[in-house]
Amino acid sequence: MKLDFGRKSATRSMGARLWPVLALAVAGLLALTQTVLAHGVTLGDQGYISEIYGVKILPFMYLGAKHMVTGYDHLLFLFGVIFFLHGAKQIAGYVSLFAIGHSTTMLAGVYFGIGINGYIIDALIGFSVVYKALDNLGAFPLWFGFQPNTKAATLLFGFMHGFGLASKVLDYNIARDGLVPNLLAFNVGVEIGQIIALLAILLFMNHWRATRAFGRQAYTANILMMTAGFVLMGYQITGFFVA
């Protein structure tokens, strides 16, 4: 589901309003001159991961859950994915696609040592937030004359989010001793954290959708989400060039 502006004149008006907002967001991205730490694991957790040996199921489950519930980029994307979804079956379908993508590349990336530069992958994760906001706004049919497959996009961006985490874990030189069970425990923790975050988001969304203001506030909310995605991209792109 996308924002429905009804008549063609209204959709043209929406499209006309989106271009200046998009241009302003891009200008803000290019104007950013400071760096930010790539989203990932805290320094305390970094030290733990780099020093631990052997199978540690519960600690890695905790670390995985903590990563998800504090991962603002993941939460923004999930917020965008379920923004217009209704019904448990529909929501579960999309969230499962994201989880499959996220889990696959995180596990494979760490196990096979496939890492991507942290700034680059986090910039792509920021782009996923921008993409989802534009998708919710119905921008692609207006601008390009077609609608990308939303399920395929959710899975693809799930792959990107998983590579983001894998790259962080690889930077911390996780021990090979106990690697597989620890990674599986970490992934279970991520899914637990995702369920906790999702329930909180759904409670908020259900309350918000019941208000009369939702229809007019949905546009602004997605503009703010898109802008946040551009800011995340800008920080990471800037960090890539000045780090």
Query: What angle do the packed helices 72-81 and 88-111 form, to 10 degrees?
Result: 150
Query: What is the arithmetic mean of pLDDT over 101-122?
Result: 93
Residue 114 DSSP class:
-
pLDDT tops 50 at residue 207: yes
pLDDT at 1: 56
Query: What are the tens digits of pLDDT across the range 167-204?
Result: 888 887 888 899 999 999 999 999 999 999 999 999 99
pLDDT tops 50 at residue 100: yes
pLDDT at 17: 52
Q: For all residues of the chain together, what is the average pLDDT? A: 84
- The residues, any chain, with a CB within 8 Å of residue 25's CB and separated by 6 or more, are 130, 226, 227, 230
Q: HSE (CB half, 13 Å, CA atoms) of 196?
A: 15
Query: What are the tens digits of pLDDT across the range 42-98?
Result: 666 777 777 788 899 999 999 999 988 888 899 999 999 999 998 899 999 999 999
